[in-house]
Amino acid sequence: MSEGLGFQANTPIQKLHFSAFGEFGVEVNMKRDDLIHPFVSGNKWRKLRYNLDACREQGKDGVVTYGGAYSNHLLAVAVACASAGLKSVGLVRGDELSIRSNYVLRLCDEYGMKLHFLDRRVFDATSSLAPLGYESFHFVPMGGANREGVQGCTEILPEDHVFNHIVLAVGTGTTFRGVVESKPAQSMVHGISVVPKTDEYIGKLNSLVNNEDVRLHFPDDAGIGKWNKSHRDLARSFASETGILLDPVYMSPVISQTLELMSMKLIKPTQNVLIIHSGGMTGILSDRWLKAD
C-alpha cells in the first residue's frame, strides 16, 4: 500500500572516487539511499514504509511519534504521512520550543504535523511508550524502532551484489538489525555507533554482535549531537570530491571510521566495501552547522 507515493526505494550503488580511500587501494561503493527523497531519505523511508501499511491496515487516522528538535525522523513522518493522506502528530523534546525554533520544526508544521512540545524530563520518561490519548493513531517509536522498521531495513542491501564489508551508522539499532538479518553469509557488517558505549546499549544489540561476522565500533567521540572539526573537514572534502553530502551526526563518523578500519587492516586492499548512506540531512539545517568552521 505504501507503493506509488513517489519514494524511490530502488537506489543506485555508486563507486566512490575519494582520495583518502585511494591511499589504501580498497574499492569502496556507496548505497545511495540518500536519494530516496529530500526529507524522507535513507533509512527513514525504509523504517516508515511498513509502518504506513500497518496504519492503513489497522484503520488508524495517522501516525504519532516522538523526536528531538532537529529530528530527521519527525520530518520524515510528517512528509510520509502527508504523501499517504494520513494525519501525523509529533511529540517534541523541549517545552521551550515552538514551530519557529528551527527549519525542521517549521517544515513539520508545513506538512501538517501537529506538534506538541513536552518538558524534557517528561519526554525522557515516556518517549519509549505509546502516548495516552492517541488510540486512533498508529504509534511509531522514536527513530522508527519497531518490527515494521526492521522489516523495511532488510530491503536495503542489493540482491545482485556481494561485498566483503558493509559499513553503516548505528543509532537505535533498527537499520543495523535489518541489515544483519538480510546480509549474505560471506559479508562482514561494521556498525559505527553514534551513541556512547553503555552496558544498556550493548545489551540491546548483544544478540547481533555475538556473531563473528558482525562488529559494533564505538568512536571515541560517539554521541548524538557531538560534532568535531575533523568530521566537518572530512565531510567538506568528501562532498567536494564526490558530489555527495554527508550529515555531521551519522555519515561523517561512518566515513571517518571506514578509513580507520582500513588503516588497522581490518579492511584489506584486496577487498571491497559497501557504505550505506542512511540519508537524514536535517543536521545541515541547523545554525550550528551554518556557523561551523
List of domains in the chain: 13-39+155-290 (3.40.50.1100), 43-144 (3.40.50.1100)
Q: What's the mean pLDDT in 174-182?
A: 96
Specify whether the CB–CB gap between 41 and 33 falls below 8 A.
yes
Distance CA 67, CA 48 (A): 14
- pLDDT of 222 reads 57
Measured CA to CA in angstroms, residue 91 lies from 147, 242, 259, 278 at distances of: 21, 37, 37, 23
Identity at 214, one-letter amino acid code:
V
Q: What's the mean pLDDT in 155-176?
A: 95
Q: What's the mean pLDDT in 114-126?
A: 97
- pLDDT of 60 reads 98
pLDDT confidence bin for 247, thresholds 50/70/90:
confident
Distance CA 116, CA 75 (A): 14
Q: What's the mean pLDDT in 150-173?
A: 95
pLDDT confidence bin for 225, thresholds 50/70/90:
low
Q: What is the 3-state secondary structure (H, E, C) of the chain?
A: CCCCCCCCCCCCEEECCCHHHHCCCCEEEEECHHHCCCCCCCHHHHHHHHHHHHHHHCCCCEEEEEECCCCHHHHHHHHHHHHHCCEEEEEEECCCCCCCCCHHHHHHHHCCCEEEEECHHHHHHHCCCCCCCCCCEEEECHHHCCHHHHHHHCCCCCCCCCCCEEEEEECCCHHHHHHHHHCCCCCEEEEEECCCCCHHHHHHHHHHHCCCCEEEECCCCCCCCCCCHHHHHHHHHHHHHHCCCCCCCCHHHHHHHHHHHHHCCCCCCCCEEEEECCCCCHHHHCHHHHCCC
pLDDT confidence bin for 221, thresholds 50/70/90:
low
Residues 6+ apart with CB under 8 A from 271: 26, 27, 164, 165
C-alpha of 79 from chain center:
16
Predicted TM-score (pTM) above 0.85? yes
Burial of 59 (0-12, 13-18, 19+ CB in 10 A): exposed
Specify whether the CB–CB gap between 205 and 215 falls below 8 A.
no
Specify whether the CB–CB gap between 95 and 171 falls below 8 A.
no
Report the C-alpha dihedral over residues 182, 186, 188, 189, rounded to 10 degrees: -10
Report pLDDT digits (tens) over 72-109: 999 999 999 999 999 999 999 999 999 999 999 999 99
